[in-house]
A and B are shown apart, each in its own frame.
Chain A
Amino acid sequence: MTTLVIAEHNNQQAQASTFSTIAAATQLSGDTVVLVAGHNCQAAAEQITKAQGVSKVLLADAEHYAHLLAEDLDRLVVAIAEDYTHILAPASTFGKNFMPRVAALLDVQQISEITAIDSDDVFERPVYAGNAIATVKSNDAKKVITVRATGFDAVAEEGGSAIIESIEAKEASAASSYVGAELTVSERPELTSARVIVSGGRGMGSGENFAMLEALADKLGAAVGASRAAVDAGFVPNDYQVGQTGKIVAPELYIAVGISGAIQHLAGMKDSKVIVAINKDEEAPIFQVADYGLVADLFKVIPELNDAL
């Protein structure tokens, strides 16, 4: 048995999600091989050779892999799939985009967003926005799985010494081409790997008011997140959204400000270690998951909190 992990990276560097996915792979029997497909991505591949638990890194370097379109990546993975019993990728927008294509081409029912591995063919995954945890057995000969990063502690990024083996790229697909991207640039830590997150909701009232949270975040070395309502209202960009259909986070400390705590929001953050809720409505459901609740007007207490830190 050997597991193939598809690495998420930006050609220079592997994303934190890759190391959590490798951690999941090491819980399965057999070796772990990592595929790094990209363009000028040697640096990312070398970084991954040092990760604990990796026996080999496959490197597929080609111009048309620069943006890792699903229509190119699927055929590459399928071409090498024969050697593996399990194929894993992070359940990020990267993994969610191409992995079901791999599964369909291999005639496999994918198991999405696992949070635990019970055995080589039994996995746990949240359903209904985390209202229930399903234990699922896959009867497919090959398992195609996406991994929720918060379910697995990342492997150490040092100490390993895997070899790199170059593999041939497949022909580019004509079905899709990359036009461009508008990526959020931030000095703050990335949401899904931040130790502390300060999140704002509709209660923030406007995008300008988020500056208060950013100041707080900077004091705490935190990332800034948001509820769907705050994103829909245009206060902050879409990639701030935490929840069932946004990002799943589990920081050491999650501070929810002016967020009511709808089930879809809780789905994305209730595995945080310590949750603080600041809301003027003492009935707000967010208080049911909060370790520390402060019933107060955020416009009064956020400046106070900024001063106190």
Chain B
Amino acid sequence: MKILVAIKRVIDANVKVRVNADNTGVETANVKMSMNPFCEIAVEEAIRLKEQGVASEVVAVCIGPQQAQETLRTALALGADKAVLVKSDEELESLAVAKVLKNIVEKEEPQMVLLGKQSIDSDNNQTGQMLGALLGWGQGTFASEVKVADGKAQVTREIDGGLETVELTMPAIVTTDLRLNEPRFASLPNIMKAKRKPLEELAVADLGVDIAPRTETLKVANPPARQEGIKVETVAELVDKLKNDAKVI
């Protein structure tokens, strides 16, 4: 079976993000960009399913600017067989991303689409579920374990109360949580090999998908700052402060 993995290029998780001067967004100049960490986990899971003989081909897709090529090359170096870049200089909303992915799914006909549970920039946590609804497929979101057998996928999900397992009829959507796996690093020979793997480029405008924005960002501001606290020297002092100043115990 073929697996499609959707990956997003985002500001690296280790960058201290700063709101820009005119409060329209965050500083992006000279900021390190990386593959969204949840997407790394999705790529890793797809590759493991291929190594287990469950999947036969892994296709990575990204909707983003020309530079997102680098992110796709990383996926290829990790073990994806083919990549598709849907070029868009504008950042698309999750609904538009889901519609574009649906278009790619119809072309590639995968049995499973793996996505991250959440982009760490927008913190939306929407795209996989939206794609599932648009395709009429079942979904296993926030996955910590994925097992595929007999045309079904068993997905264990991280939920607020603990863990839940669902069984999905294939084709299906899976979105990854942190504990699904630990992504590998790309080796140098694989990075070299990835340069020769196919990377198809499409322009989002050519797909005939409605990507018109539905929301406007009116303002991006710093969160309210916390008042500076104090250091206490002893446990007794701490207990005293909590009892008599803060009055929380």
Contact = CB atoms under 8 A, between A and B. Distances in A.
Interface of A: 67, 69-71, 74, 92-94, 96-105, 107-113, 122, 125-140, 173-184, 192, 196, 220, 228, 231-232, 237-239, 244-245, 247, 252-253, 263-264, 270, 273-276, 282, 287, 289-295, 301, 304-305, 308-309
A239 B120 contact: no
Nearest to A71: B138
B226 A289 contact: yes
Interface of B: 11, 13, 16-19, 26, 38, 93-96, 98, 117-118, 120-134, 136-142, 144, 154, 157-169, 172, 177-179, 213-223, 226-227, 229-236, 238-239, 241-242, 246, 248-249
B120 A105 contact: no
Nearest to B221: A133
A293 B232 contact: yes
Nearest to B144: A238
A298 B93 CA distance: 45
Chain A at the B interface: SS class: mixed
A226 to B, nearest CB: 13
Contact of A192 (B160, B238, B241, B246): B160
B238 A128 contact: no
A265 to B, nearest CB: 12
Contact of A239 (B93, B129, B161, B217): B161
Contacts of A238: 144, 158, 162-163, 177, 179
26 contacts: A67-B164, A71-B139, A93-B141, A93-B157, A96-B129, A98-B129, A103-B95, A104-B95, A110-B124, A110-B126, A110-B130, A131-B18, A135-B217, A136-B217, A140-B214, A176-B140, A179-B166, A181-B164, A183-B161, A196-B249, A238-B144, A275-B226, A289-B226, A292-B231, A294-B235, A308-B239
